[in-house]
Amino acid sequence: MNLKGRDFLTLMDFTKDEILYLLDFAQEIKKDVKSGHFLPILKNKNLALIFSKPSLRTRVSFEIGMRQLGGNSLTLKQDEINLGIRESIADTARVLSGYADCVMIRTFAHKDVEEFVQYATIPTINGLTDDCHPCQIMADLLTIKEHFSKLEGLKLTYVGDGNNVANSLLVGCALVGINVAISSPKGYEPTGRFLNFAKEIAKTSGIKVEILNEPELAVDGANIIYTDVWASMGQESEAQARKEIFKPYQINAQLCSFASKDVIVMHCLPAHREEEITHDVLEKYADVIFRQAENRMHAQKAIMASIIG
């Protein structure tokens, strides 16, 4: 499947077949790495990484992943380039297009990434914005496929803040045939356009897309329970208030008992133990959660290899 030259900004830009192709490709790449074979698919290619938001997993997975593909990467922090401040986003896009073969941006406003793409002549990857986190969901789907050997027909329940991860989970799950339920406090549900996209797919695919404020009802029959921090970067001033609001949405042993017997728990990390997830539940499912983190690298390698070419 030819995806060369495509941007990877949101999963809404891709079809079911394209996502499944990338997941299959990621599995092949991961198998090669585990057997000690590193194919130089991107030899002499260069990736520029822009970080307005810091990250352990995003930086390491992209840098090492690019190296395993035979390419090079250069990391640019916000205080080094001040995206959209020191010079315009348009000019930054034009400059980097003359140096690199691909750009990854991890920032706050999604409109900044969209503006960058308007002026860039090389593929751009969304490493996270306040609206969505497509690379994370590709890693999640890869982990689910590895664990259950399928995607269609499963049920995933996300419990917590209806943030960028929840938005992208709605889209990703709907596209590949996973029933998805989101349980958030009133006023903290996912963004409407992502929910509406998932519901439109559900009309023809037959999957269920549900928004429920009661976590016990939401996890009923779930094969996967998923959570994230209650306060994301940029919401530090709300952290204390959110702890009180989200207390009933903690992933603990009691909540897991309402789910399917084969349930697994996932977390995109970093985790705040004893807040959104208890220590005992995280440790019980640590193998899944940290394989999920590793799969960021393999999923992103499939994306880079496909769009850079």
Confidence of residue 232 (pLDDT cuts 50, 70, 90): confident
| 199-215 tens-digit pLDDT | 999 999 999 999 999 99
Determine the pLDDT at residue 8: 98
| 240-252 tens-digit pLDDT | 999 999 999 999 9
Determine the pLDDT at residue 117: 98
Evaluate whether 207 touches 180 at the Cβ level (below 8 Å): yes
| 28-46 tens-digit pLDDT | 999 999 999 888 999 999 9
- Cα separations in angstroms, 29 against 23, 67, 68, 301: 10, 13, 10, 8
What percentage of the chain exceeds 90 in pLDDT? 93
| 283-301 tens-digit pLDDT | 999 999 999 999 999 999 9
Which among 59, 267, 296, 298 is annotated as catalytic?
Answer: 296
User: Can you tell me the mean pLDDT for 112-120?
Assistant: 98
Determine the pLDDT at residue 78: 86
**With 90 as the cut, is the pLDDT of residue 192 above it?**
yes
- CA separation for the pair 303, 19 (Å, rounded): 10
Confidence of residue 144 (pLDDT cuts 50, 70, 90): very high
Active site residue 296: yes
- CA separation for the pair 185, 167 (Å, rounded): 15
**With 80 as the cut, is the pLDDT of residue 278 above it?**
yes
**With 80 as the cut, is the pLDDT of residue 124 above it?**
yes
User: In sequence order, which ranges of the chain are alpha helices (DSSP H)?
Assistant: 16-34, 56-68, 78-81, 89-97, 110-119, 134-148, 164-176, 192-205, 215-218, 239-245, 253-256, 279-284, 286-308
**With 90 as the cut, is the pLDDT of residue 85 above it?**
no
Active site residue 273: no
Active site residue 59: no
Tokens of 158: 């996300």
* Residues paired with residue 183 on neighbouring β-strands, in sequence order: 159, 212
Average pLDDT, the chain: 96
Which among 59, 133, 147, 298 is annotated as catalytic?
Answer: 133
Which among 59, 106, 242, 298 is annotated as catalytic?
Answer: 106
Of 231, 290, 243, which is closest to residue 266 (Cα–Cα)?
290
Determine the pLDDT at residue 94: 98
Evaluate whether 127 touches 104 at the Cβ level (below 8 Å): yes
**With 80 as the cut, is the pLDDT of residue 17 above it?**
yes
Active site residue 291: no
Which among 68, 256, 268, 300 is annotated as catalytic?
Answer: 268
Confidence of residue 67 (pLDDT cuts 50, 70, 90): very high
Active site residue 133: yes
Amino acid at 108: F
Query: Model's pTM, two decimal places?
Result: 0.97
Which among 228, 250, 292, 300 is annotated as catalytic?
Answer: 228
| 100-109 tens-digit pLDDT | 999 999 999 9
User: Can you tell me the mean pLDDT for 253-257?
Assistant: 98
User: Can you tell me the mean pLDDT for 118-140?
Assistant: 98
Determine the pLDDT at residue 264: 98
**With 90 as the cut, is the pLDDT of residue 236 above it?**
no
Which among 59, 101, 132, 136 is annotated as catalytic?
Answer: 136
**With 80 as the cut, is the pLDDT of residue 233 above it?**
no
Determine the pLDDT at residue 19: 98
